[in-house]
Amino acid sequence: MTRKKFTGLKTEFYEHPFDHKALVTLERTPVLPMLLKKINEYGIDKLLRMQTTGSEFKVTPRNFPNLHNAFEEACNILDVVPIPELFLFRGTGYIKAYAIGVEKPVVGINLEGMEWLSHDELLFVFGHEVARIKGKYLAYQQMAHVMPAVKNLISTTTLGMGGIAANGLEIALYNWMMMAKFTADRAGLLACQDQDVAITALMKLGGLPQEYLNEDTINDFVLQARAFEFNNLDSLGQFAKTFSFMEHLLPWMVMRASEVLKWVESGDYENLLQGKAPDTQQAENQQDDEDWNFLTAWDTTEQS
């Protein structure tokens, strides 16, 4: 299969409107600049890279050629330059992949990812991860990983920020991380260029091994995804909204598949394949219409 390469691809061409809104909310939290500065001072970026390079297997064309080829192809399709380093880490019982490194990004995938995913499904997963690099999301993502420890530091030092402000930032951060997955999944689909592959990749990411994938399980998963009513979350109370994505590390595969299918059905995905840049003004209007944001009740500007 010959796949289209998106030379000059911009993140805003496939950015999910919920991702954009959550990012705006996050960047308006008054604690954010100080926290980014402190994380930089502590050398978190270098520490995370050192943990990867010091404990995982660097993937090359020689040692794991199939894995390397899929990763290189995904980067070339999505116009990610330079191509980051790729690492393979030990099995966890389920597929796991990540991207870290603000200054020098790296991508990692575990043994299950290499063994369970087909070449095309690897394109989806790698497309999802390199989208985080392409969109310059890694600084905030890394902040989320160290947030529990840093939050305690904020609460016990004289940084001019209280625990309530830190909690408000944490909620905004976790909300954005979930919404950013919608954008990354769109990039994954652009990489594999097959919605059926995207669906089976998401099912495997959700923990379902290959032997359970058949016409019935796939069709039922698609039906479940189409029936999922994401906007109903807006009717939940503030506590429920907050709690809903505090477990942001859960796979949320049905919800993510639902959003992928909606994007395909909107025609925007096919337009990109045909080389038609999206109407950014129309996207902004759509964003105004889709007013879902569970942080509406949080006035972060008053929590500093």
For the stretch 36-70, pLDDT in tens is: 877 777 788 888 899 999 999 999 999 999 999 99
DSSP SS3 for 286 = helix
Please tell me the total count of domains within the chain: 1
303 assigned to some structural domain: no
Residues in the chain: 304
**Does the pLDDT value for residue 273 go beyond 90?**
yes
Query: Residue 227, Cα to own-chain centre: how many angstroms?
Result: 23
280 assigned to some structural domain: yes
- Smallest CA-to-CA distance from 43 within 106, 130, 89, 101 is with 101
CB 101 within 8 A of CB 94: no
232 assigned to some structural domain: yes
229 assigned to some structural domain: yes
1 assigned to some structural domain: no
Q: What is the pTM of this model?
A: 0.86
299 assigned to some structural domain: no
- Smallest CA-to-CA distance from 126 within 168, 175, 44, 66 is with 66
272 assigned to some structural domain: yes
295 assigned to some structural domain: no
What is the torsional sign of CA 107, 113, 117, 118? Answer: positive
Domain that holds residue 41: 11-288
Region 101-110: mean pLDDT is 93
